[in-house]
Every structure is written in structure tokens, then in C-alpha cells.
Structure 1
Amino acid sequence: MAKFYDRLEEKHVAFIKAQKMFFVATAPLSDAGRVNLSPKGYDSFRVIGPNRVAYADLGGSGAETLAHVRENGRITFMFCAYEGAPNIMRLYGRGEVMQFNDPGFAEEIAKFPPGHERARDIIFADITQVQDSCGWAVPFYEFKGERDQLLRYIEHKPLDEWHESRLAKNAQSIDGLPGMIRPEAAE
């Protein structure tokens, strides 16, 4: 049976730190829009405080998470135990996007491990509720390591070219919501 908390407790933070993967879910306001669920890894999640978290968004094939968060702020994170005692933890909250060309980004991304410098954004979230549930149906998996394809892919271009490619390829979500914002468009 699920238990609900109004903040992250030490046991929750310890569980989060032990996980190698998490999922992030968002949705647009439009009924015609698609719900997005993305797996994340690379030690990209950080607990800032009992009600504040962040993750370095290295990017991928779309811009759904950042577009949905910009539109309405709703975000859910899910962590599952694949080893040891069964557990599923969900963090419900309201997010905000700090893009790579926003003031303060360099200082914030420096708080993540090496390899995250090329993140297209950091998603910060204020957590309004934590749910802990049994996870009995989650199978066991053995962690063998991180895939290196994404890091190799994003490291092959000079940083300014990489940023330009993100601005071009992630300008909107698959449902047409604004994604990455060019500095001149933000003014």
C-alpha cells in the first residue's frame, strides 16, 4: 500500500542516490497532446533539499519534457528498485527550466559530475508530494554500466556548434510547443 509524504526524508534520499536510473513524466495541457515518459541515467539527478530537486537534461531525440514544463510546470519523477528490497518512489511537483544560455547555468551545471557540461538544460522541481509504494511487480535487473553513446555523440562537436544544434533540433516538441529558446527570442 502506498504511503504519502509532504517532503523527502533521509530514507528517500538514500534510496534515490542508490538508483542508477529514473523516469520523468510530463504532459501538455491540451487533450490532443501526448504524455511523455523518459528514462534518465548518467548520475544526473540531485536532491537540493527536502522539497527541491534537479536533473541535468543531456537531451535526446525530442524536447517534450522541457516544453511541457515550460507550458505548465507539472512533472513526476519515478525511481524503482531493481536490486534489493522492492520499492517504487514517485516525486510529484512543479518544475522550471534553466537552459544552457540562461544566467547562472554554468554555476549550476558545475554541481553535477564531469560529462554534464553539455546538458541542454537543468530541470528544477519543487516537490509537493512523495509517494512510496511496494514495487513487488518490478523485476530484478543487474546494473552492468552506463551506455556511452550519448556522451560520445555530444562530445564530438565544439561547444558552440553543439549548442546551436540543440537550439535548432529542439526548437519545439512533437506537439508543436516551444522547446529550446534562442537568446534573442527571449528578449
Structure 2
Amino acid sequence: MAKLYPALTNRLQSFIEKQQIFFVATAPEEGRINLSPKGMDSLRVLDSNRIAWLNVTGSGNETAAHILENPRITIMFCAFEGAPNILRIYGKARAVYAGDDSWKELEPLFPKLPGTRQIFDITIESAQTSCGMSIPFYEYLGEREQLIDWANEKGEDGIKTYWKERNTVSIDGKPTK
């Protein structure tokens, strides 16, 4: 059953590295909770108490808005193949942008993706596993290319315009940076 860890063990790190999808949850002090699925080879385990997640342009920028006022974040992984398992990582996040000192450290760890918006640097406070016995099996067939195609078509200037027009505030009207 459920087990709480103060940091990621080697076994948990190995589990994370095999996952094709993960879920990110954040919440402001007041307003909507955001829960989003993520993929695209965008998460790295840096050590037993730190992970980084590369965020690309999407329809919103809720995580960036939320962590400005409340840095708490939960990352969840589910085993959709093999032995059942759910892993939740609880921590505090900060957004790192191109031009920030930490960008030079983190950006090279990820593939070059068009529309890269920021990297979330997450300090892990604890991790919890649970059984996952009710999670169905799913087969991974590959990545969707639509977001990359869309970002390539927009180009760098088009992406920056999109950010200004659609990604400067959350759905609750909170600033993203």
C-alpha cells in the first residue's frame, strides 16, 4: 500500500524515466486548481530531491501564474503497463526563463522543442507511492506531433505574439510573470 519517502530512491527514479506521461497539479491561493497531462520527453530527474520539467507553449500558462503566489506543486505518474504503481511527487517549484542564470544549466538537458516557454525547477519535499491496482493498462503508440507542427508554423515571433495575446494571465486573471 502507500509509502512515503523523503526523496526519490533509485527505484523511483527508474520508474519515472520509463514513463511517457505525467500529470502536473498546482493551485493559486484563491481560484481554480489546475491539473494537466504532460509528455514530450520533458521531465528530468536531477537528483533525489530535484526534478526539472520543460514547459512548452499551450493554450494556457496556469502553472506559471500559480507558482508566483503559491509554489506548491504535485507531479503524478501512473504505471499503464507492467506492475501497478502510482507515484506522487510533492514539492516547491520555481519558473526558470531564457536569460535567467539557471537557464544555462537546465536548458541543455532537454531536446530543442519549438515553443519552449519555461523550465520548472522543482525541489522535492516528499514522494508517495500507492498501489495503482485500479489503473487500466494502456499501450503507448507514440507522441502527437500537432503541437510541434503548430509552433514551427507560428515561428519564434509568432509564439511571442501568442504569449502576449493569450498567456499573460491565468483563467482566474492572475499574471503569469
1:44 aligns with 42
Give, in whole Å, the separation in 2 of the partners of 1:102 and 1:164.
21
Partners of 1:120 and 1:163 within 8 A in 2: no
Divergent runs of 4+, >6 A: none
8 Å Cα contact 2:57-2:115 kept in structure 1: no
Corresponding residue to 1:135 among 132, 138, 144: 132
Give ranges in structure 2 of 5+ residues lacking alignment. Answer: none
Q: Kindly indicate whether the alpha-carbon contact (under 8 Å) linking 1:100 and 1:119 is maintained by their aligned counterparts in 2.
A: no
- Say if 2:106 is the partner of 1:108: yes
1:167 & 1:111 partners in 2: Cα distance? 27
- Alpha-carbon spacing, 1:106–1:150, altered in 2? closer, same or farther (3 Å): farther
Structure 1 counterpart SS, 2:154? coil
Count of aligned residue pairs for this structure pair: 177
Q: 1:13–1:47: 8 Å Cα contact kept in structure 2?
A: yes
Question: Match for residue 54 of structure 2?
Answer: 56
Which amino acid is 2:147 matched to? Answer: L
Whether the aligned pair in 1 keeps the contact of 2:42 and 2:54 (CA below 8 Å) is: yes
- 1:57-106 deviation digits (Å, cap 9, x = unpaired): 01311111111112110100000000000000000000000123534435
Change (3 A) 1:153 1:106: farther
CA displacement at 1:114 relative to structure 2: 3.1
TM-score by length of 1: 0.89
Equivalent runs, 1:1-187 vs 2, <5 Å: 1-30=1-30, 33-105=31-103, 107-115=105-113, 118-179=115-176, 181=177
Q: Please state whether the residue corresponding to 2:140 is helix, strand or coil.
A: coil
- Structure 1 gap ranges (5+): 182-187
- For 1:102 and 1:166, locate their aligned partners in 2 and report how far apart those are by CA, in whole Å: 18
Root-mean-square deviation (Å): 1.4
Change (3 A) 1:106 1:157: farther
Cα distance change of structure 1 residues 160 and 101 upon mapping to structure 2, 3 Å threshold = farther
The one-letter code sitting in structure 1 at the alignment partner of 2:19 is Q
